Amino acid sequence: MDTASLTSEIRATLRAAVDALCTAGRLAPGNLIVLGCSTSEVAGGRIGKASVPELGPVIAQAMLDACAAHGVHAAFQCCEHLNRAVVMERSVLRERGLTQVAAVPQPKAGGSVPAAAWKLLHTPALAMAVQAEAAIDVGDTLVGMHIRPVAVPLRIDTRHIGGANLVMAYSRLPYIGGSRAVYE
Protein backbone atom coordinates (compact mmCIF):
# COMPACT_ATOMS: atom_id res chain seq x y z
CA MET A 1 0.00 0.00 0.00
CA ASP A 2 1.38 3.43 -0.89
CA THR A 3 1.93 6.16 1.69
CA ALA A 4 -0.95 8.38 0.49
CA SER A 5 -3.41 5.47 0.64
CA LEU A 6 -2.24 4.43 4.10
CA THR A 7 -2.44 8.02 5.37
CA SER A 8 -5.98 8.31 4.03
CA GLU A 9 -6.92 4.96 5.60
CA ILE A 10 -5.48 6.01 8.97
CA ARG A 11 -7.41 9.29 9.02
CA ALA A 12 -10.70 7.74 7.91
CA THR A 13 -10.49 4.77 10.25
CA LEU A 14 -9.53 6.77 13.34
CA ARG A 15 -12.30 9.26 12.57
CA ALA A 16 -14.82 6.38 12.28
CA ALA A 17 -13.47 4.75 15.45
CA VAL A 18 -13.74 7.94 17.52
CA ASP A 19 -17.21 8.66 16.07
CA ALA A 20 -18.38 5.16 17.02
CA LEU A 21 -16.91 5.35 20.53
CA CYS A 22 -18.45 8.76 21.18
CA THR A 23 -21.86 7.53 20.04
CA ALA A 24 -21.93 4.05 21.60
CA GLY A 25 -20.17 5.11 24.80
CA ARG A 26 -22.14 8.37 25.06
CA LEU A 27 -18.89 10.20 25.60
CA ALA A 28 -19.19 13.79 26.74
CA PRO A 29 -16.92 16.72 25.99
CA GLY A 30 -13.89 16.45 28.25
CA ASN A 31 -13.90 12.64 28.31
CA LEU A 32 -10.68 10.85 27.39
CA ILE A 33 -9.86 8.29 24.71
CA VAL A 34 -6.51 6.49 24.94
CA LEU A 35 -4.83 5.29 21.76
CA GLY A 36 -2.33 2.45 21.85
CA CYS A 37 -0.68 1.96 18.48
CA SER A 38 2.10 -0.09 16.96
CA THR A 39 3.47 1.48 13.79
CA SER A 40 5.28 -1.81 13.21
CA GLU A 41 1.92 -3.60 12.97
CA VAL A 42 0.31 -0.85 10.87
CA ALA A 43 3.15 -1.25 8.37
CA GLY A 44 2.69 -5.03 8.31
CA GLY A 45 5.53 -5.95 10.65
CA ARG A 46 5.72 -7.49 14.11
CA ILE A 47 4.99 -5.29 17.13
CA GLY A 48 8.16 -3.73 18.53
CA LYS A 49 10.35 -5.02 15.71
CA ALA A 50 9.80 -2.76 12.69
CA SER A 51 8.95 0.72 13.97
CA VAL A 52 8.00 3.29 11.33
CA PRO A 53 8.62 6.72 12.92
CA GLU A 54 7.22 8.49 9.83
CA LEU A 55 3.77 7.08 10.65
CA GLY A 56 3.83 8.52 14.19
CA PRO A 57 2.85 12.09 13.27
CA VAL A 58 0.20 10.90 10.79
CA ILE A 59 -1.49 8.68 13.39
CA ALA A 60 -1.14 11.14 16.28
CA GLN A 61 -2.54 14.04 14.26
CA ALA A 62 -5.43 11.92 12.94
CA MET A 63 -6.33 10.95 16.53
CA LEU A 64 -6.08 14.53 17.77
CA ASP A 65 -8.28 15.76 14.92
CA ALA A 66 -10.90 13.03 15.40
CA CYS A 67 -11.10 13.72 19.15
CA ALA A 68 -11.24 17.50 18.71
CA ALA A 69 -14.27 17.12 16.45
CA HIS A 70 -16.16 15.68 19.47
CA GLY A 71 -14.60 17.83 22.19
CA VAL A 72 -12.97 14.80 23.81
CA HIS A 73 -9.33 14.52 24.79
CA ALA A 74 -6.79 12.20 23.17
CA ALA A 75 -4.08 10.38 25.09
CA PHE A 76 -1.37 8.08 23.76
CA GLN A 77 -0.08 4.92 25.44
CA CYS A 78 3.67 4.39 25.38
CA CYS A 79 5.25 0.96 24.94
CA GLU A 80 6.57 -1.18 27.75
CA HIS A 81 9.95 0.61 27.70
CA LEU A 82 8.17 3.51 29.43
CA ASN A 83 5.94 1.18 31.48
CA ARG A 84 2.95 2.00 29.23
CA ALA A 85 2.78 5.55 30.59
CA VAL A 86 0.35 7.86 28.80
CA VAL A 87 1.07 11.10 26.91
CA MET A 88 -1.59 13.81 27.23
CA GLU A 89 -2.02 17.53 27.66
CA ARG A 90 -0.73 18.64 31.06
CA SER A 91 -4.09 20.31 31.79
CA VAL A 92 -5.88 16.95 31.39
CA LEU A 93 -3.35 15.25 33.66
CA ARG A 94 -3.94 17.91 36.31
CA GLU A 95 -7.76 17.91 35.95
CA ARG A 96 -7.78 14.16 36.56
CA GLY A 97 -5.30 14.29 39.45
CA LEU A 98 -2.93 11.87 37.74
CA THR A 99 0.65 11.13 38.72
CA GLN A 100 3.09 12.77 36.32
CA VAL A 101 6.33 10.94 35.51
CA ALA A 102 9.60 12.23 34.09
CA ALA A 103 10.35 10.98 30.60
CA VAL A 104 10.05 12.17 27.02
CA PRO A 105 8.90 9.42 24.64
CA GLN A 106 11.17 8.54 21.74
CA PRO A 107 10.36 6.28 18.77
CA LYS A 108 12.44 3.42 20.24
CA ALA A 109 11.61 4.16 23.89
CA GLY A 110 7.93 4.91 24.17
CA GLY A 111 6.86 4.49 20.57
CA SER A 112 6.58 6.47 17.37
CA VAL A 113 3.00 7.63 17.98
CA PRO A 114 3.49 8.87 21.59
CA ALA A 115 6.78 10.53 20.54
CA ALA A 116 4.95 12.35 17.75
CA ALA A 117 2.04 13.27 20.03
CA TRP A 118 4.52 14.75 22.51
CA LYS A 119 5.65 17.16 19.78
CA LEU A 120 2.10 17.95 18.60
CA LEU A 121 0.52 18.71 21.98
CA HIS A 122 0.62 22.27 23.37
CA THR A 123 1.93 21.31 26.83
CA PRO A 124 2.60 17.56 26.84
CA ALA A 125 2.90 15.55 30.02
CA LEU A 126 3.40 11.89 30.80
CA ALA A 127 1.01 10.23 33.25
CA MET A 128 1.94 7.00 35.01
CA ALA A 129 -1.53 5.59 34.30
CA VAL A 130 -5.09 6.67 33.60
CA GLN A 131 -8.60 5.25 33.69
CA ALA A 132 -10.11 6.67 30.50
CA GLU A 133 -13.68 6.50 29.30
CA ALA A 134 -12.66 4.73 26.08
CA ALA A 135 -9.69 3.30 24.22
CA ILE A 136 -8.53 2.33 20.76
CA ASP A 137 -5.95 -0.40 20.32
CA VAL A 138 -4.18 -0.54 16.96
CA GLY A 139 -1.84 -3.50 16.68
CA ASP A 140 -2.52 -5.44 19.90
CA THR A 141 -0.79 -3.00 22.26
CA LEU A 142 -2.82 -4.08 25.32
CA VAL A 143 -4.29 -0.65 25.96
CA GLY A 144 -7.07 -2.13 28.11
CA MET A 145 -5.16 -1.35 31.29
CA HIS A 146 -6.08 2.31 30.74
CA ILE A 147 -9.87 1.89 30.49
CA ARG A 148 -11.94 2.35 33.61
CA PRO A 149 -14.22 -0.54 34.57
CA VAL A 150 -16.50 -1.83 33.06
CA ALA A 151 -15.03 -2.09 29.53
CA VAL A 152 -17.49 -2.81 26.73
CA PRO A 153 -15.96 -4.04 23.44
CA LEU A 154 -17.03 -2.17 20.31
CA ARG A 155 -16.58 -3.20 16.68
CA ILE A 156 -16.93 -1.18 13.52
CA ASP A 157 -16.92 -2.45 9.94
CA THR A 158 -13.21 -1.73 9.62
CA ARG A 159 -11.18 -4.26 11.62
CA HIS A 160 -7.67 -3.16 10.58
CA ILE A 161 -5.50 -0.12 9.97
CA GLY A 162 -2.88 -1.24 7.49
CA GLY A 163 -1.72 -4.60 8.82
CA ALA A 164 -2.75 -3.89 12.42
CA ASN A 165 -5.79 -5.23 14.23
CA LEU A 166 -8.25 -2.57 15.40
CA VAL A 167 -9.96 -3.17 18.75
CA MET A 168 -11.97 -0.63 20.73
CA ALA A 169 -13.85 -0.38 24.01
CA TYR A 170 -15.75 2.18 26.02
CA SER A 171 -16.62 2.04 29.69
CA ARG A 172 -19.99 1.86 31.35
CA LEU A 173 -21.01 2.24 34.95
CA PRO A 174 -20.88 -1.03 36.92
CA TYR A 175 -24.24 -2.64 37.62
CA ILE A 176 -24.78 -3.38 41.31
CA GLY A 177 -27.70 -4.50 43.45
CA GLY A 178 -28.85 -7.77 41.91
CA SER A 179 -32.38 -8.63 40.76
CA ARG A 180 -34.11 -5.86 42.74
CA ALA A 181 -32.00 -3.08 41.27
CA VAL A 182 -33.40 -0.81 38.58
CA TYR A 183 -31.07 0.46 35.88
CA GLU A 184 -31.51 3.17 33.28
The answer on pLDDT for 69 being more than 90 is yes
| Alpha-carbon gap, residue 137 to 90, rounded angstroms | 22
DSSP three-state, residue 97:
coil
Residue boundaries of the structural domains of the chain:
3-174
pLDDT at 184 over 70: yes
What pLDDT, in 10s, does the model give residues 89-107? 999 999 999 999 999 999 9
CA atoms within 13 A of residue 94's CA, in its CB half-sphere: 6
State the pLDDT confidence band at 182, using cuts at 50, 70 and 90.
confident
Domain 3-174 has CATH 3.30.360.10: no
Task: Tell me the pLDDT band of 177, cut-offs 50, 70 and 90.
Answer: confident
pLDDT in tens, 116-161: 999 999 999 999 999 999 999 999 999 999 999 999 999 999 999 9
Cα gap 135→75, rounded to integer Å: 9
